[in-house]
Amino acid sequence: MRIGVLTAGGDAPGLNAAIRAIGQLALRDGHDIIGVQNGWAGLAAEYAGAPLAPRDIAGIVGQGGTILGTARYNLDDPAGGRDRVLAAIDEHLDALIAIGGDGTQSISHWLSERGAPIVGVPKTLDNDLLGTDYCIGFDTAAGIVAEGLDRLHTTAASHHRVMVVETMGRATGWVATVGGLAGNADLVIIPEFPLTMDQVMDHLASRRRRGYGYSIVVVAEGVNLETLGGHEVNGVSKEGIGGVRLATRGVGNFVASRIEELGNYEVRTTVLGHLQRGGAPSSYDRWWATRVGAAAYDAVVSATFGVIPVVHGNDIRLKPLASVTGGQRQVPRDLYELATAFD
Ligand code: F6P
């Protein structure tokens, strides 16, 4: 079989672990493994697929990024990008494994409904793909947030400051919540559970009354500015697929300036940005990316298409692609409350 593999959307630590698992298992079994470059662009624009040799995928389990490259590519162009992908799969591949988040898997589902032999793999640093407890990249990102908070605690304490830390998290607050819990944030603000500035200020005042000389506030980049008393800003448009680069809305700086306006606090902002996406994956991301990658390969060789391996507790299950698209998995209230219970 000619088994294609691609990574689409934002990169995430752990992608190479999945690529290595899929590739080495395929080569072991005598299949061709075709690395498709730059996500859907490598099928919709000029075909960019090439066989991967053992040396291409050896030793990459701990390497950040994706050796295949990735892109946010708009397939809904008037010239029919989706049809070009269908034609390229038909011409060049016997099966395709598409590693990506909600946007990628929506496309996988669309292609699958038209007969393309596709299997997905769950990846988004935001960790909010429906139907799975885990997405490649999330554990590393939460760890980077926790490490950042550890460092900010000491300087915040020394200067008696409020530190506002902006994390990634487009529609949901998994990175902020879990990173905040692990890094001992005092307050976490996420899209799922909006807070007003009055609530933020009450929280800071309560800490001050209890004798704490500093506070760490974590805010997810996707929170609604209007709830916090601001005006929604459009932000800078994303390249390729449209939408907004959320970091350009400046949520962290907005919260910091409001805290300074409303109370007698010295405040500093840290925007963690793409530090959360870069560098080596955690061991958790390496072994779970390996497991979901291997499960996707098993699905392909048993000709089970239109599915995605998801993590359910400690197990991997195959689910229809349709079941993971069209929404986001939100942070549950009990986890959110636990993350802010130790201020
Ligand atoms: O979708 C994952 C994500 O990491 C979001 O949290 C963030 O808003 C976005 O990607 C950033 O994307 P880009 O690197 O294209 O600016």
pLDDT at position 253 is 96
Torsions phi, psi of 87, nearest 5? Answer: -65, -40
Q: How confident is the model at residue 243 (pLDDT cuts 50, 70, 90)?
A: low
Q: Do both 160 and 247 map to the same domain?
A: yes
Give domain status of residue 329, yes or no.
Answer: no
Q: Is the CB of 239 under 6 A from ligand 1?
A: no
Count each helix (H run) and each strand (E run) in the chain, helices first: 11, 13
Give domain status of residue 340, yes or no.
Answer: no
Which of 245, 274, 328, 331 is the best mutation target for the ligand 1 pocket, counting ligand atoms within 8 Å of the beta carbon and taking the most? 245
Give residue-wise pLDDT tens across range 27-85: 999 999 999 999 999 999 999 999 999 999 999 999 999 999 999 999 998 889 999 99
Q: Do both 255 and 300 map to the same domain?
A: no
Ligand 1 center from residue 107 Cα (angstroms)? 18
The alpha carbon of residue 179 and the mean position of all alpha carbons in its chain are separated, in whole angstroms, by 13
- Quickly list H helices, 29-101: 41-44, 54-57, 81-92
Q: Do both 303 and 225 map to the same domain?
A: no
Rounded distance between C-alpha atoms, residue 29 and residue 22, angstroms: 11
Give domain status of residue 166, yes or no.
Answer: yes
**Residue 264: which CATH number?**
3.40.50.460
Give the mean model confidence (pLDDT) for residues 233-257.
Answer: 77
Q: Is the CB of 236 under 6 A from ligand 1?
A: no
**Residue 20: which CATH number?**
3.40.50.450
Q: How confident is the model at residue 24 (pLDDT cuts 50, 70, 90)?
A: very high
Q: Is the CB of 126 under 6 A from ligand 1?
A: yes
Q: Is the CB of 249 under 6 A from ligand 1?
A: no
One-letter amino acid of 329: R
Give domain status of residue 343, yes or no.
Answer: no
Cα of first residue to Cα of last residue in the chain, in angstroms, is: 55
Catalytic annotation present for 126: yes
**Number of compact structural domains in the chain:** 2
Kind and range of the H or E run holding 28: helix 15-28
Find the domain containing 64 and state its range: 2-137+281-324
Give residue-wise pLDDT tens across range 301-327: 999 999 999 999 999 999 999 999 999
Q: Pull the structure tokens for residue 86.
A: 């269908």
Q: Which of 126, 128, 139, 285 is catalytic?
A: 126
